[in-house]
Structure 1
């Protein structure tokens, strides 16, 4: 217990800084699944699925077996992008609505196309009403088997030879909207692979169990579990050397800039100045401004303006608050002041933005 108390002693005493207002926490408030769609599929090689659902974000993992994920959008060329391996327990985040393929081997041509609403067709467009030969049967045949356990493969549910091991694919999709959420998506590559970590196994096991249940509140539970999987995946991804974490994430780790970011994210309506932020962050005005600009790539007040406008855009899109009310929530004296800043940043006035998103 003494160790825990000692570790708390280095934290800032300003009560405004004790709230979890780091950039990732704040940005993820609007990146939440609503009616998350999960699929768990037992697949017999050779198998290959082309996904054309158009959802902005998908999470994939193999509970057993290995797969490859390939982006095949218009920008990827005729052969698609470089295939990304997906080992048991890995999590892949697919960003954007362009098609992608998940297969047992990059050379396996798609045998089915999954459209919006889980409607499946053959590659030539014929509606699929029955299982394909690659579908290995009831995924519940996996009950009691270890999950994310390396090369452990489930037995053939039909009792056939296990010479060709099955794969178990778990997929969850997100409906994401909002200017704030876009900052998270913009910080990710088209396909982000997070290697398996022991901390991720409980969430995957809970999701797999919950999908098999038919109990009240199941959708809420799945939404929260997908939330957990995404947040933990993002944290792991941004810590990887190859991830090139965005400035708003890197800045949180800096003792000076991180304090200022928490305050800006947590209390955007306060009349912040460079001087007041520097004082709250425990640095001189000159040192704070220089450090912030070096780390974030823009001056403090420029960042604050962009953050306020992002929040205003989401409030206009998702609430019925008047422009006057929104202006006060994000740090502007009145609707006119917000309108000027909004048009300078977004290119349109707040009322035009609201009409556009409500079409």
Structure 2
């Protein structure tokens, strides 16, 4: 019963449900029933010593080793624990009120008197109250929004649509730290995200791709979108992500992804090339061939530039120079390459004309974001948000 009482709180605070705990309780309680009194007895016998002390100490240590072995054995089973999304306050309220009621004297008196209607009325009363909690606590509702997730020195953009679909653009990552397990997974579970409908990776550098690759092994990712040049790395990608070939989507300029009624994503760069040219691209600086995507989220438009630098910006400007409509114009600009001094040129800013700029940056030795970039943005009265200074999220509803 005590273990059952911990389940809702553990799920809410740690997004974790231990199935093994229910099986472990019985042997652990039995063993603890011997270990605790033996431990107390050994305290007093330690002043005397002798054979009896040595024997009981050996026996107590043996029981402890058995307990640890059982715990380790069951804990290693695949089904020993599962990750769960944070339950709502309604579920927490309902769980604990019903649990307390079932443990109360009122419940057992009602059972003895066979007053089952009374029991049902009380439980229905709790259910009615629980249904009104989301109306009182608005934050308990899942809201459509765009969040630039703080993954340290890396990029990650989370889009939640009005119908509840979830899209990630990049996922940060490091070689010596599992961002997918330690940052993305807890963030998504805490925000009630059971799966990722679409993950898009601008390019395969660690600080954009490795977190997504890790997440694919931890959570259901329906589709993974990457630049077409990465067909040449297909086997490595499938091995790293654990996905099937059907889960991969190859993208290039001109592709449109319809996510929801008011949400879609246009790929505006890079274009398609030959296989030989793709080999050259992957051997060069992948930053300049980042997937550049324009996100339309109801009345908001966001231009995500990956790690694009001056060279890539010039190519895009030249590519769309003769277009009647300014395709590059956006309300929000995800600044290229974490605010590097070699990205975000004056002419690029004048064409995009953003009202808001987001710089995804963490502790680094590269001087990101560079003061030149900040000066360019402030000179144009563009509002700047930085992940190293706080959370960045936008709501169009």
- Name the TM-score, length of structure 1 as normaliser: 0.28
Structure exhibiting the larger radius of gyration computed from Cα positions: 2
Q: Which has the higher helix share?
A: 2
